[in-house]
Amino acid sequence: MAVRLGALAERHGLELIGDGNVEIDGVCTLANGRAGAISFLANPQYRRYLASTAASAVIVSTADAEALATPGLVARDPYVAYARVASEFLPPADATGQVHPRAVVDEQASLGAGVTIAAGAVVAADARLADGVCIGPNTVIGRGVQIGSDTVVAANVTLEDGVTIGARCRLHPGVVVGSRGFGLAMDAGRWIEVPQLGSVVIGDDVEIGANTTIDRGAVEDTVIGHGVKIDNLVQIAHNVRIGDHTALAAKVGIAGSSTIGSYCMLGGAVGVAGHLEITDKVMITGMTLVTRSIREPGTYSSGWPVATSGEWRKQVARLRRLGKLEDRVKQLESGA
Amino acid sequence: MAVRLGALAERHGLELIGDGNVEIDGVCTLANGRAGAISFLANPQYRRYLASTAASAVIVSTADAEALATPGLVARDPYVAYARVASEFLPPADATGQVHPRAVVDEQASLGAGVTIAAGAVVAADARLADGVCIGPNTVIGRGVQIGSDTVVAANVTLEDGVTIGARCRLHPGVVVGSRGFGLAMDAGRWIEVPQLGSVVIGDDVEIGANTTIDRGAVEDTVIGHGVKIDNLVQIAHNVRIGDHTALAAKVGIAGSSTIGSYCMLGGAVGVAGHLEITDKVMITGMTLVTRSIREPGTYSSGWPVATSGEWRKQVARLRRLGKLEDRVKQLESGA
Amino acid sequence: MAVRLGALAERHGLELIGDGNVEIDGVCTLANGRAGAISFLANPQYRRYLASTAASAVIVSTADAEALATPGLVARDPYVAYARVASEFLPPADATGQVHPRAVVDEQASLGAGVTIAAGAVVAADARLADGVCIGPNTVIGRGVQIGSDTVVAANVTLEDGVTIGARCRLHPGVVVGSRGFGLAMDAGRWIEVPQLGSVVIGDDVEIGANTTIDRGAVEDTVIGHGVKIDNLVQIAHNVRIGDHTALAAKVGIAGSSTIGSYCMLGGAVGVAGHLEITDKVMITGMTLVTRSIREPGTYSSGWPVATSGEWRKQVARLRRLGKLEDRVKQLESGA
C-alpha cells in the first residue's frame, strides 16, 4: 500500500520538497532509515542523521528544510505531521461490522449500525453500543453500559454494570472500568463494605492503557473528561475527577475523591493522595509523592534520585543525623 | 424500589427523627442532595451542609441530631449505619443460580446449590464451588480450585490450579491468584525456574481488587487471613502471609516471604521488601519504602513530599552536599 | 508419584549420602519438614534446623554434608540442585495437544504439532504457533502473532497483532503484549495519537508475570532478550530494549526508549525514566528512582527508608530547612 510523497503532501497540507513521485510504504527512524520509508525530525539531537539517512523522505520544520538531503515534507510541527502521515500505514482495524457467532449478546442489548463484536465477548442486557463500536475478543460488557460511537474496546476488557464511555475512545486489553470503589467502614473489629452506588463516566476521545483500573464512585460518579490519555497499569480510585486533555503516564495512582485539572501531565508512577485538588496545567515528574493540593500551574517533583548503594547509605545516614547537625550548628552559634 | 425512612430505622436499629413516612429510593451526598435520597454526616467538615441539604433524610451521630433540618436517623457510627442502609439500594446481583450454556464446566468439577456460572467462564476438573458461588463471564477456574460459599468472582479473573478461596469473598475483574512465584536460581549464566509447589490459601470475607496478583508459594503456601481487604493492582509475592482484617490500598507491593500482621493498614503504593515482619496494628502511609521489620504498632511513613521542580532540584543538591556540610561543621567545631 | 532418593541422585548428578531407598514424594522446608519430603539448605541461617528437621532428605553443599542428620544429596549449588529435583514434583502441565472445541481458531492460523488450545481461546488469522505451544483458556492471540516452540501462554492473556514470542517462554495470566505505545502529540489543544507501527519481539526462555504489560514500538520494535525474567505488574513502554538474562521484579516500570543491559536485576517498583541507558550487570534495589543513565556495573539505590510518622515529619522539615542550615554554617565560617 505504497503512496506517493506528493499525495501525502496534498492530503496533509504540507509543503513538498523534491520529487513528489517517491513511493512511500511505511515509516522509519532517521538513524535506521530504509528506502521506501518516511521519517521525521522533531528532536534536534537527531539532526546529524539528516544528511546521511537512508529514508526516502523526511518530515521537517521550516528551519530544517534546507538541510534535507532527501525529498521531504515541511510542517509547522513535524511530529504532529508525522502522526498524521504515519496513520496512513496503520494496519486495517479489526472492525468487521459483525457480531461473531461465538459472541454472547443479550437480547436486551442495543447495537448501533456497524457494531463489531468479536468471538468470546459477552454483552449484557441493556447495554447500548452506538454506531461503529468495536468490542474485542473475550471482553465483558456489563448491564446498562453505554458506549459512544466508534469507540474501540480491545480484548479481555471488563466494563462493569452501568458505566458510560464516550465516543472515539480506545480501551486497551485488560482494562477494568467500574469495579467497586475501596469503601470500607470498621464495625466491631470487622471491615464492612460501603456500597459503591456511583458509576464511572468517561468522556469522548479518551485512551485507557492496558490493565488500567478505574473504580466506580461511592455516591456520585468517577468522572474522566474529554481527550484524557491514560497509560498502562494506572489506578484511578472512586470519585476521582480528571479534567479534559490531561495525560497520565503508566503506573500513576490517584486516591479517592481527588481532582486533577485540565491539561495536566503526570509522569510514571506518580502517586496522588486522596481528597486533593490539582489545578489545571500542572506537570508532575515521575514517581513524585503528592500529599498536598497544588493550586498553581507549573512543574512539580519529588523523589530521591539514584546513587550507588554505598553513597545512598551514606545519604540516608546523613539525613538521619540532620537533627544532630542542626543542634551542633546551634551550639556553635550560641558559642560565637 | 423506594422504602420508608421508618422501615430503614427499624431494620437497622437506628433512632428515627421526624417523619418516618418519607420515601427513600437512593443515596446522595449532603452537598449535592436530592429529594428521595438519604445522605450521612460522618466528617465534621461537611456539617455546614446539614442545614441546607436537599436530601430527604440524613444519618447523623447523636451529637449532630439536633442540627438536622430534615428527617433523619441517629446512629452511634453514622458511616457504618450508612453502609448498611445504602446496601438496600445496591442493584440485584448477577447471580442466576444457573450455569450458562456458553460456560465450559468440566464434568469432574463439583458445583454446590445455586451456583452461577456466567457465559464464557471455564471451570476445570476437580474444582469445588460451594453453595451460592457466582463466577463471572470469561473467568477461568483451574483444576482443584476450592471456593467457599457465596463468594463472588467477577469477570476475566484467573484462579490457577489448586488455590483455595474462602466464603463470602469478592474477587474483582482481572484478579490473578496462584500464578507462579518469582523463584529463580542462576545456573551457569542462565536463570532456571525454581518450581513453586505451594499454593494460595485465602480466608473468608476477603476482597481482592481489580487486576491484583497473588502468587503461589514456593514450598509452603501464600496465606491471606480472614476479612482482609485488598484494593486494585496490588502485588502479593510468594509465601507472603497477611493477618486477619488487614487492608491494603491500591498498588501496594509485598515481596516474597514477608509477613504482615492483623489490623494493619497499608497506604497506596507502599512497598515492603522481602523476608520482613510487620506486627499487628501497623499503619503505613502511601508510597512508603519498608526495608526493615516493624515490631511496634503505630504509624509509619517515608517519602519525599512534592515541591516545585526548582525547589526539589535544590533539595537534591543540598542532600548531596550534606557530607560536606558535616565536614564544615566539624571544622568549625575543631576551630572553636 | 514417589521416587527413590538414589534415583534423584543419579538423574541430577548429585552425591548420595545415606539410604538411597528413601522414598520422596514432594518438598518441604527444613523448619516444617515432613516424612517423605526433601528439603534443601542454601541460606546459612537455616542450618540450625538441619539436625532436627522432619524431612526425609536434604540437599546440602559439601560444607554442610557432615552436619546431615538425614539422608541427603550433596551439590555444588544446593538451590540449583533443589530447583532441578523439585521440578520432578510439578503437577502435569495442561498440555493436551488438542484444540478444545470451544476455542475459536481462524482457518488462516498455523498450528504446529502437539499444540494445545484451551476452551475460550481465540486465535486470529496468520498466527503461527510452533510445535508444543500451549494456549490457556480465554487467551486472545492477534493476527500474525508468532510463538516459538513449547511456549506456554496462561489464561486471559492478550497478544496483540504481529508480536513475536520466542521458544520455551512462559506468559502468566493477564499479560498484555503489544498494546499501543503511549505516543501522543499535542495539536491545537488536543492530543493526537502517534501511530505505533513497531511491534514487540521477545526472545527464548522468557518469563512474563501476571498482568504485566509490554507496549509495541512506535517506529521500531520493543525488544526483550533471551532468558529475561519479568515478574508481575511490570510496565515496559514502547521501544524499550532489555538485554539477555536480566530479571525485573514486580511493579518495575521502564519508560519509553530506555535500554537495560544484560544480567541486570531491578528490584520491586524500580522506575526508570525514558531515553536512558543502563549498562550490563547493574543491580538496582527496590523503589529506586532512576533519572540518569548508569554506565558502570554495580549496585544502585535510592529512596527514603521508613520511620515512624513523627520522625519522618521531622526529617522532612529538616530537609526543607537545609538551605537555611547551609546559610548558617556559611555565616559561622565567615565570622570565624
**Minimum distance, in Å, between the CA of residue A118 and any CA atom of chain B:** 13
Best A39, A232, A291, A318 member to test C by mutation, with max C CBs in 10 Å, is A232
> Of all residues in chain B, what percent carry a pLDDT higher than 90?
97
Determine, yes or no, domain membership for B98: no
Q: Which amino acid type is present at position A317? A: A
Contact between B158 and B139 under an 8 Å Cβ cutoff? The reply is: yes
CB contact at 8 A, C68 and C60: yes
The closest of C191, B100, C97 to A80, measured between CA atoms, is: C191
Q: Where on the phi/psi map is residue C287: left (φ > 0), alpha (ψ -120 to 50), or beta?
A: left
What's the average model confidence in pLDDT over C295-306?
98
Residue A63 Cα distances to A30, A68, A69, A329, angstroms: 17, 10, 14, 56
Number of domains in chain B: 3
Instruction: Report the alpha-carbon angle A155-A159-A161, nearest 5.
Output: 150
User: In one letter, which amino acid is B200?
Assistant: V
Verify that A192 and A168 share a domain, yes or no: yes
What count of other Cβ atoms lies within 10 Å of the Cβ of residue A132?
19
Task: Let me know whether A59 and A117 are in one domain.
Answer: no
Query: DSSP class of residue B180?
Result: P
Distance, CA of A181 to CA of A37 (rounded, Å) = 48
Residue A58 has pLDDT above 80, yes or no: yes
Looking at B60, B89, B118, which one is the last position of a domain? B89
Q: Is the domain of C85 the same as that of C127?
A: no
In a domain, B49, yes or no: yes
In a domain, A97, yes or no: no
If you average pLDDT over every residue of chain C, what do you get? 97
- Say yes or no to pLDDT of C336 above 70: no
In terms of domains, do C118 and C71 share one?
A: no
Helix axes C322-335, C309-320, angle to 10 degrees: 50
Contacts of B205 (CB under 8 A, 6+ apart): A190, A191, B166, B167, B168, B169, B226, B227
Nearest to A19 by CA among A30, A11, A7, A27: A7
The reply to whether C95 falls in a domain is no
Q: Which residues of C touch B271 (CB under 8 A)?
A: 251, 268-269, 286-287
Contacts 24+ apart (CB under 8 A), B41-44: B41/B78, B42/B77, B42/B78, B42/B79, B42/B82
CB contacts < 8 Å between A and C, how many? 220
Residues C254, C182, single domain; the answer is yes
Q: From the candidates A49, A58, A89, A138, which should be mutated to test the interface with C, based on the most C CB atoms within 10 A?
A: A138
B85, B135: one domain: no
CA distances from C101 to B5, B102, B115, B163 (A): 54, 12, 24, 26
Dig out the grid coordinates for A70 from the structure.
532527501
**Whole-angstrom distance, CA of residue B238 vs CA of residue C209:** 12
| Residues of chain C with C-beta less than 8 angstroms from the C-beta of B104 | 100, 102, 119-120, 137
Q: Tell me, yes or no, whether B85 and B140 share the same domain.
A: no
Residues A83 and A112 in one domain: no
Question: For the segment C164-176, what is each residue's pLDDT rounded down to a tens digit?
Answer: 999 999 999 999 9
Average pLDDT, stretch A165-178? 98
The values of phi and psi at residue C305, to 5°, are -75, 155
Place of cell 433524610: B57
Q: Are residues A157 and A223 in the same domain?
A: yes
Give chains near B: 3+ CB pairs under 8 A. A, C
Domain boundary among B89, B122, B154: B89
- Mean pLDDT for chain B overall: 97
Three-state secondary structure call for residue C90: coil
Bridge partners (DSSP) listed for residue B26: B37
Residues B124 and B273 in one domain: yes
**Domain harbouring B27, CATH code:** 3.40.1390.10
List, by residue number, the catalytic residues of A.
Answer: 238
The nearest alpha carbon in chain C to A308 belongs to C300
Pairing mode, strands A170-171 and C213-215: unpaired
Chain B positions touching C286 (Cβ under 8 A) are: 255, 271, 273, 289, 291
Residue-level pLDDT at A94: 79
C317 in Cβ contact with B301 (< 8 Å): no
C-alpha cell at A62: 521550516
> Is position C114 within any domain?
yes
Q: Which of C89, C114, C142 is the last residue of a domain?
A: C89
Predicted local distance difference test score (pLDDT) of residue C91 = 87
Instruction: Check residue B336 and give its pLDDT.
Output: 56
Residue A94 domain flag: no
Sequence-distant (≥ 6) Cβ neighbours of residue C302 within 8 angstroms:
A303, A304, A305, A306, A307, A312, C287, C288, C289, C290
Is A114 found in the same domain as A12? no
Check pLDDT > 60 for residue B220: yes
pLDDT tens digits, one per residue of A73-87: 999 999 999 999 999
**What does the pLDDT look like over A185-211, one tens digit per residue?**
999 999 999 999 999 999 999 999 999
Helices (H), A76-211: 78-86
Q: What is the 3-state secondary structure (H, E, C) of B201-231?
A: EECCCCEECCCCEEECCCCCCEEECCCCEEC
Contact criterion met (CB < 8 Å) for A307 and C301: yes
Nearest CA in chain B to C302: B289
CA separation for the pair A321, A331 (Å, rounded): 15
Please enumerate in sequence order all residues whose Cβ is within 8 A of that of B190, keeping only pairs 6 or more positions apart, or say none: C205, C227, C245
In a domain, C139, yes or no: yes
C314 inside domain: yes
Cβ atoms within 10 A of the Cβ of B101, count? 7
Q: Residue C206: give its domain's CATH number.
A: 2.160.10.10
Element (H, E) at A265: strand A265-266
Cα–Cα distances in angstroms (integers) from residue B178 to residues A296, B140, B141, C257, in the given order: 46, 12, 11, 32
Residue-level pLDDT at C228: 98
- Give the Å distances, CA to CA, from B177 to A182, B195, C173, C177, C269: 19, 17, 9, 20, 20
CB-based contacts of A265, cutoff 8 Å, min separation 6:
A246, A247, A249, A282, A283, A284
Place of cell 540450625: C48
What band does A303 get if pLDDT is binned at 50, 70 and 90? very high
* Residue-number span of the structural domain to which C212 is assigned: 104-300
CB contact under 8 A, B187 and C322: no
What was the pLDDT predicted at B126?
Answer: 98
Judgement on whether residues C54 and C192 belong to the same structural domain of the protein? no
Mean pLDDT, rounded, for B182-199: 97
b or e along C174-185 (b: 16 or more beta carbons within 10 Å of the residue's beta carbon)? Answer: bbbbbbbbbbbb
Provide the pLDDT for residue B281. 98
Compute the average pLDDT of residues B110-122.
98
| Predicted TM-score (pTM) of this structure | 0.97
